[in-house]
Each structure stands twice: as C-alpha cells, then as structure tokens.
Amino acid sequence: MMNTMTTDELTIAIAVPLEAEYVEQIRAVDPSVTVLYEPDLLPPERFPADHAGDPRFERTPEQDERYWSMLNKAQVLYGFPNESPAGLARIAESNPRLQWIHAMAAGAGGAVKASGLDPETLRKFHVTTSAGVHALPLAEFSAFGILNGFKRSAELAQDQAAKVWPELRTPTRLANGSKVVIAGLGEIGMETARIARALGMKVSGTKRNVEAIEGIDEVTTNDGLAGLVADADAVVNTLPGTPYTEKLFSTGIFSAMKPGTVFVNVGRGTVVDEDALLEALNNGQVSYACLDVFAVEPLPRDSPLWSHPKVLVSPHTSALSAAENRLIAERFCSNLRKFIDGEDLPHLVDPVHFY
C-alpha cells in the first residue's frame, strides 16, 4: 500500500516515551505535519531508550482515555501503543485512519505476530522496524563474544576468582587469519562482517537471496550452513525468529562444526536448539558461547546455561546504547520524509512471515 495522503492531513502521535528534543526533530520534517505529544501520558524512562518505560506507571482512567483518543486521531504512530502486542491489536481495531506504525525494535515481527491480528487487517497499514539502528552495538557485541572465546576470558575469570596462577601458560587464539561464519548477512550481519574483517578475519555467511558480496568469501542460503561452519573458528547468528529459522542451529549444525568453535547469538533465541547447544558445549564442539537471546526470556532460573562455565549470559541488552533514541528518531524522520513523498518505506514487517 502506497501513501496517497496529502501532508496537510497528516497527524503523528508519539505512543512511547521520547525526549522532547527528538519530538521537535520529527515536527521539523515538514511544516504541515501535526505531532501529538503528551509526555504526562507516557511512562518515564528508567534508562536510555527504555521504550516501555517504568512498569509502575499507571494512567488514571481520564489519562487513559486521553491517551487512546490521541492515538486514534493519528494516521502515523511512533511506537506500538503501550509498547505491547496488545496495544497494537487495540489500535488496529479502533483507528480506521491508521496507515503506518514505526516500531522501536529491529525485530518487531514477533510482536506483530503476538498481536494476533490476521493478515488482512495487517495489510491495512504499514509496520516498519528500527532495523539497522542496532547494527553497530550488536556487531560490537559479536566481536566482543568472539574475542572472549579466542582469548579465554571465561577461564581467566575462573582462575582469578580462585586466585590460581597456572603453572603452564596457555596460548590464546588470534582473530587475524581466522574464519567467521555469519548466519544472516543483513544489516547487523554486514556490520559484524565489517568489524570482523577489520580484525583480519575471513568472513562467509548466509543470505536468503544468494549473491556475491564484496569482502565476503562465500555466501549460501541457510541450507548450506552446515558446509560453511565445518571449518569456521567462530559462528555468529543474527537471524530473526521465524518458522523458517526455528531451531536452525540444531544438533546437525553443531556437529558439523570443528571442535573448539566459538558461538555468538545476537539474533533470536528460537533460532538455536538450546539442548543441542549444551551438548555441543559439553562435548567440546563449541568452546565458548556468548548469548544475548534465548528461546524463553527472561531465561528460566533452572536453565543450565546460567551456570555453565563456557557460557556468557547477557539479558537481551546488547543492542542498547545511550544513542538509541536519537538514532531511532533519525530513522523515523528519514522514513517520514519518504512517506510524505509517496516513496516505499524500508524495513517493512511482512504480515504473513513476520520478519
């Protein structure tokens, strides 16, 4: 669906916490755009880019009525209402004027799916994601995970905690000249590849549509992943969670890796069979796993990943940075200009496959 509205009709509502300076940037995109922003109706942020805001925040019935009235006046929303799938479902039903919602997350497909809206309803408006905004922090975290594995940081921390000075010094591995496989050569994957190449690593990876990519040694679909990982020193997953990627990293893929492979996951937890990963950690196929995402979040307290000596557990925070709100607002402003000019919007959520 292309935008056919005239700009003098366009109203945008800010549905999630956002600093006033970035609201002004949105207003400045076009003088004919009206931006509805009532900060007293939005929960305070507990930290930078806390899009859901303080969970203790509650609107009075009068405030809640004002909040939804504001959202129902808009054709464009900045953020999901209440930053939740339920909020998305409610606005889709109550606002027939709705044309476009910009999501704060890079992987908003899961929330769209969780809303329970049918494809016909979802085709009535666009949902765009903030994909790309998080590419640099995720890529840096991926490099951090690889280097942790190569430089034996887990073992060093254990020795330090036990005040052990080993009699024999153990060598570490060089990133330079090693091979990394990146499952998912999208924006996050390509930024990870850029940093890996800067460290002197050789990069291969997977992409839905196979094509030659400058600086990437080999590109296959996910069907060729087992062949790629066979001689990899490190493997990074950046893939979204979809029916096509669920438990892609299975016993078969981990078994195809050479012993001692470092594994990093900054994509979605559902892409990894965690039982298969634990088996690979215990038999040495994987020497170290740096995990920011999990099949169930928060990670259940009884998960053996918490206490595994070769695992770093990160609570799905690797994409966060102090600059996130600014970067998302800049992305939204760029998209808004395209929307006003009738151009196609980037990073649309597929209403059928949810990526």
- The pLDDT, as a whole number, for residue 7 is 44
Catalytic member of 134, 268, 308, 347: 268
* Encoded tokens for 268: 């979605």
Alpha carbons within 13 angstroms on the beta-carbon side of residue 218 total: 14
Question: Which residue type does 228 have?
Answer: L
347 is catalytic: no
- How far is 239 from 271, CA to CA, in rounded Å? 7
CB 142 within 8 A of CB 291: no
CB 182 within 8 A of CB 191: no
- State whether CATH 3.40.1350.10 applies to domain 135-313: no
152 is catalytic: no
- The pLDDT, as a whole number, for residue 6 is 44
- The pLDDT, as a whole number, for residue 135 is 93
The Cα-based distances of 273 to 46, 246, 265 in angstroms read: 33, 8, 12
- The pLDDT, as a whole number, for residue 355 is 78
As a whole number of Å, the CA-based R_g of the chain is: 22
- The pLDDT, as a whole number, for residue 353 is 82
Domain spans in the chain, listed from the N-terminal domain onward: 7-133+322-340, 135-313
- The pLDDT, as a whole number, for residue 8 is 61
- How far is 268 from 266, CA to CA, in rounded Å? 6
- How far is 218 from 223, CA to CA, in rounded Å? 13
Closest listed residue to residue 263, CA positions, set 208, 216, 308, 299 = 308
- How far is 232 from 246, CA to CA, in rounded Å? 22
CATH fourth-level superfamily of 7-133+322-340 = NAD(P)-binding Rossmann-like Domain (3.40.50.720)
- The pLDDT, as a whole number, for residue 192 is 98
297 is catalytic: yes
Give yes or no on whether 7-133+322-340 and 135-313 have one common fold.
yes
Catalytic member of 9, 297, 343, 353: 297
Which residues, given as ranges, of the chain have pLDDT below 50? Answer: 1-7
